[in-house]
Amino acid sequence: MKARELKDKFINFFVSQQHVEIPSARIIPENDPTTLFISAGMHPLVPFLLGESHPLGKRLTDVQKCVRTGDIDDVGDETHNTFFEMLGNWSLGDYFKKDMIPWSYKFLTQELKINPEHLHVTCFEGDADAPKDTESYDLWHSQGISEDRIHYLPKKDNWWGPAGSVGPCGPDTEMFIDTNPNAGPIDFVTGCKQRRIIEIWNDVFMQYYKDADGKFSEMPQKNVDTGMGVERTTAILSGFSDNYLSSIWQPIIQKIEEISHKKYSEYTKSIRIIADHIRSAVFIIADGIEPSNKEAGYVLRRLIRRAVRQGKILGIETNFISKIADAVLDNQENYAGIYPELNQNRERIISILDAEENKFRKTLNNGLREINKLIERSKSVSGKEAFTLYESFGFPVEMIQEELEKNNLSLDIDEFNQAKEDHQKLSQTLSAGKFKSGLADNSEIITKYHTTTHLLHTALRKILGDHVQQSGSNITADRLRFDFSHNEKLTDEQLKQVSDLVNQQIKSSLVVTKETIPFTQAQKEGAIAFFGSKYPEIVSVYTIGPKDSYFSKEVCTGPHVNNTNELGTFEITKEESAGSGKRRIYAILK
């Protein structure tokens, strides 16, 4: 089956069950700016899972662009991807298990035509926090799944969330396919270990709330959150154990083969890495990110550089990344026809990729010089020095080894690995913190900074002009950070005007109101929206100030404070460049 067919079938199925299709949110979280990327379909919906009302109702479905970089080093095997698309459907306090499980069964067996005899499902076995999920078990059984193919598993396998340390969570039921039933019966756990039995869909029943003391209580709003990976499911339905053999990857892989004159069957790992990393890079750039040394920009830089390095292994010594990107951008059926941001940003994507590749090729040459200096001086490169070259220049360790070998020297790879491990532990701890504070953080102070961001956005437009557009936003409990398009450094006078204007609005006790209206009407009324993004037909609009003489009006999912007088005193703490044609402001509330 082709990916597009799977996506269409999924969306149509849920639309026929009265769900509304919503477009994918940007891959960079908008209202949860403390995490780098959207990592699951439910992630942009967190405010609604927590009770905020969604403009399009209580039944939603979508295909969401996701990026997960936690196991970037595993990319190159049959299954790992950094970018992927996740299909999902949601009940925001509407239907629950009794509807969801029969729908799941129907979709798998009737739409995807999976033989029910090849399905396995798992349910939560129960513990001190929540009882055994016998309801799900009974529902599967009544659908026709026999008892030997329904398995109870503990919390570590059959529970999802909370995404942070507190928040909505609940038991899930996961669906698996036996991909080689002809090989005879197999024990479920063994089958999973051998990757013969593979998970394809997860229905999460968000019926509990975990509080700060670790206690679980029943939530008033019971949600359903489901997730199905497009790449994996497409491959399985096409009978491939190697995800990269599915039609999703073929145009990209063919392009790499064509440029390198190397075959996928011989250079499998390198070709997979290039295909995966460039596809991710294209989507990340399309959503407004540029390579840098920080956060999402840093991830993007690493993706591009790793792809260049793999290209060298294939013998490609001139710029080729943007040509591979063309294969992604040209894919009308799967990508360009669904995500308008790809076509709209095509030139920008290509030129950013080219520039980064040039820069990295220069770095590689400089790095080679650096290594040769070390070799001349001390007849060695220590593991730690190699790690520094690797981490700060992005210089690939294999190339350091190659250079040393040319001089009959060798690298202490254990020392290198130790340095790398120490570094990874540190960054994992940091990013775990990021994820935690991110997903569930709708705390009061974050909400205040969110409303303040709207005030700042409009104040900048009023003082500097309408060319000012938000290009990024990041909020922590301590400050807001706002990136916007503007060519020059702001003068002290301009900064003062901007903060005075924001403080005036705070002092004027402006009421903040939310309306749910068609996107076209919002645009007509002058509401600010993210340029180039695809919005649902009906959106929430937040207006600050009286309806006929408002100060700010923005399309936004919220949440926001009710009145600007809750905000305190606004102060800009820093203004700096955020790349070419972009400025960045840090500000606090006191």
Cβ distance 106 to 12 under 8 Å? no
Nearest to 86 by CA among 45, 131, 127, 32: 45
Under the binding rule (CB under 6 A), the answer on residue 226 touching ligand SER is yes
Among positions 29, 55, 191, 227, the unique one binding ligand SER when judged by CB under 6 A: 227
- Give the interface segment with ligand SER, choosing from 57-65, 221-229, 253-261, 490-498 (CB under 6 A): 221-229
Residue 348 and residue 282 in contact, taking contact as beta carbons nearer than 8 Å: no
- Asked if 66 interacts with ligand SER (CB under 6 A), we say no
Q: How far is the CB of 208 from ligand SER (least distance, A)?
A: 14
Nearer to ligand SER, 133 or 575 (CB): 133
Q: How many CB atoms lie within 10 A of CB 194?
A: 12
Classify 168 as helix, strand or coil.
strand
Q: Are strands 59-67 and 83-92 parallel, antiparallel or unpaired?
A: antiparallel
Sheet bearing 552-555, strands edge to edge: 512-518, 538-544, 552-555
Q: How far is the CB of 74 from ligand SER (least distance, A)?
A: 18
Stretches 4-12, 67-75, 225-233, 272-280: which one binds ligand SER (CB under 6 A)? 225-233
Rounded CA-CA distance 573/480 in Å is 10
Rounded to a whole number of angstroms, the minimum distance from the CB of residue 225 to ligand SER is 5
Q: Does 225 bind ligand SER (CB under 6 A)?
A: yes
Q: Is 200 in the site for ligand SER (CB under 6 A)?
A: no
And the tokens for 307?
């792809």
Q: Which is nearer to ligand SER, 42 or 307 (CB)?
A: 42
Q: Is 224 in the site for ligand SER (CB under 6 A)?
A: no
Runs of H (alpha helix) within 379-527? 383-393, 397-406, 413-439, 444-464, 492-507, 519-524
How far apart CA 335 and CA 368 sit, in angstroms, is 38
92 DSSP β-pair partners: 223
Classify residue 239 as left (phi > 0), alpha (psi -120 to 50) or beta. left
CB 584 within 8 A of CB 481: yes
| Shortest Å distance, C-beta 223 to ligand SER | 11
Using the minimum distance from each CB to ligand SER, give the nearer residue, 156 or 377: 156
- Find the shortest distance in angstroms from Cβ 204 to ligand SER: 5
Q: Which is nearer to ligand SER, 13 or 542 (CB)?
A: 13
Residue closer to ligand SER by CB (options 41, 394) is: 41
Q: Is 202 in the site for ligand SER (CB under 6 A)?
A: yes
Can residue 162 be called a binding residue for ligand SER (CB under 6 A)? no
**From the CB of 266, what's the least distance to ligand SER, in Å?**
35
Assess 42 for contact with ligand SER (CB under 6 A): yes
Q: CB–CB of 589/567 below 8 Å?
A: yes
Here's the x/- map for ligand SER, 1-40, by CB under 6 A: it reads as: ---------------------------------------x
Instruction: Give the residue nearest to ligand SER (CB).
Output: 227
Instruction: By CB under 6 A, tell whether 252 contacts ligand SER.
Output: no
Chain residues 131-160 in contact with ligand SER, contact rule CB under 6 A: 160
Question: Please, which residues bridge with residue 541 across strands?
Answer: 515, 555
Residue number, 82 or 345, with CB nearest to ligand SER: 82
CB 323 within 8 A of CB 259: yes
Q: Fill in the DSSP letter of residue 450.
A: H
Alpha helices in 228-267 (DSSP H): 230-237, 250-260
Write down the least CB distance from residue 98 to ligand SER, Å.
19
Give the interface with ligand SER as residue ranges (CB under 6 A).
40-42, 88, 160, 202, 204, 225-227
